[in-house]
Structure 1
Amino acid sequence: MAVNIIETIKGYLTPDLISKASNMLGESESGVSKALSGLVPAVFGGLISKATSGSQAGANEVLALSKESYQSGFPGNITNMLSGGLTTGGGGMLENFFGNKLQSIISAIASFAGIKSSSAHSLFNVATPLATGALGKYAMENNLDANGLSSFLQSQKANVAAMLPAGLSGVLGLSGLTSSMSPVGSEARQTVSDTTAYAKDTYERKGGTNWLVWILLLAGVAALLWFLTRGCNNESKSTTTGDSTTMTTMPSDTSTKMAPAPAMPPRESMKVKLADGTEINAFKGGVEDQLVTCLNDASCAAGKDKWFDFDNINFKTGSATLTDSSAAQVSNIVAILKAYPKAKIKIGGYTDKTGNADANKKLSQQRADAVMNAIKTGGANASQLVGAEGYGSEFAKVDASASDEARKVDRRIAVQLREK
């Protein structure tokens, strides 16, 4: 399965981290979340530029810095870093990666997120060790040397470009990716802009109105309409999976080559109030929000059909080992069970239709058990835990021949509300 390291890092941007950063900076949680959603790919843009510049020294430096970040405990302890302040986490890496581009990037992020430039700079110090640590982790787990790391970063260019706020690709020097970051119609707007400029130049050189001006302008308008029509014929679909929420673009004509998917808007953080008066940090519409809403609603019946998909539970590739970023959601489930002592839950594990059915069922059982054990270890009352069951591909709906992106919906962990 192809790795999208930006999606991996999104799992570490927990509601708790965003809330702490928001309080420390005096910014809204939505602003902090939006800024980090742009800063993480911006840092990766800097890493890509440095590691793939053609200089072996650049690739060696990125590899060394990334390993150092990982060995220092990142990205796992990124939330704990906040207790020491936001001004030291990124060290001197920012200037090293971005040089005289740094201030332009900070200003662009601040404008994009609607926060102060000083806050954007501070958040850079969160995004930098987060990104380099995750990259170092991947490099060490896959035994990459400098050349291997450079190749891997090359493969991530499209993912980074899709997540960057408009305009940052050019600043970062990621050649060839600017158009993939722009909304549908940007190519047409550029065509119109170029055409108009040429027409204006022709007009001025000829000293007055020229028929060529009108032809060129009409051609530009036609190009704009063509691109906009092409964009409107695409149907956007958002799917939530056990690993992440992904936006895909499905063309009405399947023979048409798909453009890179646009960046997902940042998820909205919220406080979920529990029956005992405590509050937990979660995402609006996430599993905690849905579960507590049902528990508080007398008309929402518990039972074997009442399932809620986890949206921030992840595992290391091909294993049943939970990632560090999963701890926040596990902790939230424990808090919910404590606040609703009559509630009883079951954990279900699911896979897609690819691979061996028996192996899939075994892995799904191991993952369901891992989540259940984590909840129990976190302090939940054992009497509220009905059990864990791996269903493998039994309930998978997407054909095995479909794209990996399409099959993500079948790879999930869910919680069943058995009693309330």
Structure 2
Amino acid sequence: MQPHVHGQGDPSHVFPALVSEEHRDMKENIVNSLENKITPAFLESVSAMLGENTDNVKLALSGIIPFLLNKVSGHLQYSETPSVFLKLLRELPELNTQNFTLSELLRISGPDSVIRNLLTQLMPDSPDSLQKTVINATKTTPESANALIALGSALLFKPMRDYLYGRTQQSLSLKSWLQKQTEGAINPIPAAFLAPAAVSDTVKPVSAAPAAPQPVVQKKSSKWPWLLLLLLIVLLLLFLLRGCGEKEAPVQAQQSSDSRSLWGDLGAFFSKALPDGKTLNIPQNGVENRLIAFIESNEPVSADRWFSFDRLLFKTNSAQLEPASQEQLKNIVEILRAYPKVKLKLGGYTDNTGTDEINMKLSQDRADAVRQALIELGADNTRIEAQGYGSAHPVAPNDTDENRAKNRRIDIMVTEK
């Protein structure tokens, strides 16, 4: 992108300097870098440009950036073709984050732009879902939502692009670099972004022109709450990544190349709306999506219809759940709340190593642990039962470490719907 030339265009439509030193991006982690860029002065400038309330602009960016960061992490971890995303990232135009106009921002995020293609890679099944969510959460216009998505994308993708061009053969992969960059952080995307979009399906694409500026009600900007929270989803991903280092394979390993041979590719994460208005961020082939599809189908319940958890982690030779398991457990609780007639049965299983007595106890203990965790998260205890089956009902021959890992699992069955 060409830098804005002073004196050309409307000065009020030019972004102010975001940071005094551009090289700070490489010295600080990505969270601190974004915090330094998105200042109160920056928010006021963007608000004036779009004719939107400052608080709404802040809320939009506080949702867009962690949402996309979570999408990138999930895509790099679970996608079968992450190389396509990395190639597009390298093709991202050089962005001058000190000065650029709104027209330039919209140009680089047009229908055929690299940014639009990157977003399509992250959200292949619902490319306009983020725009709808921003409109619903912030009450901004479709044009302003488009511009804010483009802005958040540009701010987030630029340090990733710079890292790819600056890395050497000894450097970490982008996935590992992002893990290290966000280590110790939290996340929750703002609650307003978790409500379903309530706008027309005919919203405009990201290339739409901005709305005419309207009077802006300025308010003092407070400390970014999302930066205190940015650290949660990625921390959960960290636990997921670390859980694969245990000698005994967990109930579900992270979607590395090794774990894909166990559980298959779970697919990209996407937003799934539930009947009660809640929205889950789940993988396309994960147990939550398959469970919801079964509940909503006309297929009758059956003692032969089981679904295997795919992101539960236990400590080695223990029934103690790892913290990374909370994400999927919370999703199951939300599904139970959304479908109040549904009842579930949990089945615990082991491989055939060890005695039958030990295997039966471990499988029961693990099934009980999952049931108790669901209850503690708010599930009705009368709607969940648990039973251990030991080494019975293997899903693979117990002839290799990989196959034995497949048999160490927790399954879930719908008993009523």
Q: TM-score, normalised by structure 2?
A: 0.44
Which structure is higher in helix share? 1
